[in-house]
Structures are given as C-alpha cells and as structure tokens.
Amino acid sequence: MAQAYMTETGNDGSEPGPSGSGLKRRLAELRRDRGIWKRGIVTAGFAALISLIMIFHAELPNDIGNLGSLTETFLPWLGVFVPVLLAVAVVRKSATALIAILLTAAVWVNVFGGLVTDKSGPGGNLTVATHNVDADNPDPKGTAEAVAKSKADVLALTELKASAVPVYEKALEGTYKYHAVEGTVGVWSKYPLTSSKPVDIRLGWTRAMRTTVASPFGEIGVYVAHLPSVRVKLNAGFTANQRDNSADALGAALANEPLKNVILLGDLNGTMNDRSLSEVTSQMRSTQGAAGNGFGFSWPAQFPMARIDQIMVRGAKPEASWTLPRTGSDHLPVAARLTVRK
C-alpha cells in the first residue's frame, strides 16, 4: 500500500497536477512515435506551395488565363489555409507538417503583416472619398446622402447612370458647391473646379476624367477612373485585357500630369498587388497601404474580398484611410484623410 501511495504522489506527498502529468505522458508518447516526421508529407508540401506562391507570385505567368493577376487579386486570402492546415497537422501528429505550416504563417506575416496593423494618424487637411455607386442602385438619393456624411471635401462617384445624375446632383448640392460630370464618372467638391475634361482610357466612351481642385493648400490634379470590369471564366480564366489596356492609358495620363499634388480616385477593378496595374501603381501611393487599418476590402459589399476601389496620391501625404458603411451599391465607399502642402 505504501508503494502504491508513493507512485501516485510527488516527492512531497502532494498530488501532481493532471495537466502536468498528462502533458509529460503526451510528450513521451510523441518521442517514441517514429512516424512523427514521416506523416503529413502531403500537408507539408501544400504549405510549402502556398509559401512559394506568396513569395514568387510575380513569376506566375499571365499568358494562360491571366493566372498571375488572378492570384495577386486574392493573394492575402492564402492565409486562410494556415489554420486549416494547422488543424490537419495536429490531428495527424506530424512534426514535418507543423514546421512547414509555421514557416508559411511567417511568410504571410512578412508579406501582409504591415497591412493588418493600424497605420492611421491624426493629421490631415483634406478628406477625399470615392464610391462606385452601381448603375442599378435602387436608392441613388440615399446613397448620395450616405457618402456625403463622410465629410469629404472632394467626392468621386463612378458608374453613374445618365438618368440618375440629376438625383445625385440634387442630393449633394447642399454639401458640395462645385461638381463636374464626364460620361459615367463625376467629382463633387467644396472647392472650385477648373479644367475638367475626359481622360481617354481606350474604351470608346468616357469612364475617366481629370479636374483641378483649387484648394486652400494649392491646386490639386484630381483623376477619377472606372477601369473595365474583369471576369473569371472557366474556358478563358481571368479575362482582363481591356482593363489592362485602360490601366496603361491611365498611367500615361498620370505620368504627363504637371501638378505636384495628384489624387486618383475610383474603381480600378484591380488590387495594388496586381502587376497589370503597374503603370498606375508604380507612380502613385496607396492611401490604404500607407495609412489604413487592415486590408480595407471594398468589394463585394455584402462580403468584401478585395480592395479594388482605390485612393492613390502623389505629392500629398496619406494620414488615414477607411471604408464607409454599405449603401445601395455592390461596392463599399472608401475615404482617406490627406495632408496637402503647396
């Protein structure tokens, strides 16, 4: 009886904690498990593949269905696989898979960790906002009133249906004294607008414009653009050639802009990771990447998965960037606070 008592107690006669003894027993079992390094090879390989895609996504070819651009559009979502694979590794009791998954998590944090943190600051002297209002929006008046609550000094609207433009003009006239509409895009501003004109983005109809905002902080060249939509088709992949050609034309217009302070607002139908927008993204700075809180996904509104509505600047300093509440559109409005200097 005495020996049995000694077996069940510690050296001091106290009962050992069940969690401690259970953990020791589990670790001992794992040390004796010779298959711990052999199991989970497939899981480890899948984790390694995800890591390679995140690191070398720029090397994925666009020749076949624009595979590279499609991957880059939803690149942050590769992180969803990490907890799933981690659960598999734990169930399989695979050290090999566990190490591979931890490395994948480290790669994701290295690539996207900076976007997760809040980089917004208190400064700024100009607030801007942009919204794809959706041509089929059932409540244009309510949408206009909602985005006006953003207190933006300059507001850009895209996908304006001609018959709905008077509704937006009426709803916004009390907040914005000046506005200009070209084709399906428009700018509403608290400051005077001059030199408003369409921008040719090789479509045959007007979906982009440029105007000069005469702000108290100097003239600002404001561009509004709605690049062509992209589609994912089973027989053709990610069809984006028209979008890509328009992005190149928009990039050329921005490169020729003489003003120091430039703001690009609109629906670019692509993310900052998408290489096909490089003619634009290489010369403009994303407010979300510089001063946002999180990824700022804007589409689709009911479950945002990608940031395709952009506010980009050159010259001005981003101070904060955020999404606005959902309206009657299939996109979320986005806004940013900037510091503009003469």
**The pLDDT value given to residue 174:** 96
When comparing pLDDT for 238 and 340, which is higher? 340
Q: How far apart are CA 98 and CA 40, in angstroms?
A: 9
pLDDT exceeds cutoff 60 at 8: no
For residue 101 the two structure tokens come to 């998954």
Of 67-76, 182-191, 312-321, the range with the lowest mean pLDDT is 67-76
Q: Structural domain boundaries of the chain?
A: 33-116, 126-339
**The pLDDT value given to residue 22:** 72
For residue 234 the two structure tokens come to 């089973």
Indicate the pLDDT class of residue 4, thresholds 50, 70 and 90: very low
Which residue's entry shows tokens 């993204």?
281
Q: Which CATH number fits domain 126-339: 3.40.50.1110, 3.40.50.970, 3.60.10.10, 1.10.3330.10?
A: 3.60.10.10
pLDDT exceeds cutoff 60 at 230: yes
Task: Compute the half-sphere exposure of residue 303: CA atoms within 13 Å on the CB side of its CA.
Answer: 0
pLDDT exceeds cutoff 50 at 2: no
Edge-to-edge strands, sheet with 185-189: 178-182, 185-189, 154-158, 126-132, 334-339, 317-323
The CA dihedral of 34, 37, 42, 46, to the nearest 10 degrees, is: 160
Indicate the pLDDT class of residue 240, thresholds 50, 70 and 90: confident
pLDDT exceeds cutoff 60 at 30: no
For residue 160 the two structure tokens come to 């304006």
| pTM for this entry | 0.85
CA-wise closest residue to 288 among 153, 171, 117 = 117
When comparing pLDDT for 61 and 171, which is higher? 171
Indicate the pLDDT class of residue 20, thresholds 50, 70 and 90: low
HEC letters along the chain? CHHHHHHHCCCCCCCCCHHHHHHHHHHHHHHHCCCCCCCCHHHHHHHHHHHHHHHCHHHCCCCCCCHHHHHHHCHHHHHHHHHHHHHHHHHHCCHHHHHHHHHHHHHHHHHHHHHHCECCCCCCCEEEEEEECCCCCCCHHHHHHHHHCCCCCEEEEECCCHHHHHHHHHHHCCCCCEEEEECCEEEEECCCEEEEEECCCCCCCCCEEEEEEEECCEEEEEEEEECCCCEEECCCEEECHHHHHHHHHHHHHHHCCCCCCEEEEEECCCCCCCHHHHHHHCCCEEHHHHHEECCCCCECCCCCCECCEEEEEECCEEEEEEECCCCCCCCCCEEEEEECCC
Of 8-22, 193-207, 261-275, 303-317, the range with the lowest mean pLDDT is 8-22
**How confident is the model over 98-121, as a mean pLDDT?**
94
Q: Give the list of residues 6+ apart from residue 238 with CB closer than 8 angstroms, or none.
A: 65, 66, 67, 69, 70, 73, 230, 231, 232
Backbone angles phi, psi at 66, to 5 degrees: 50, 45
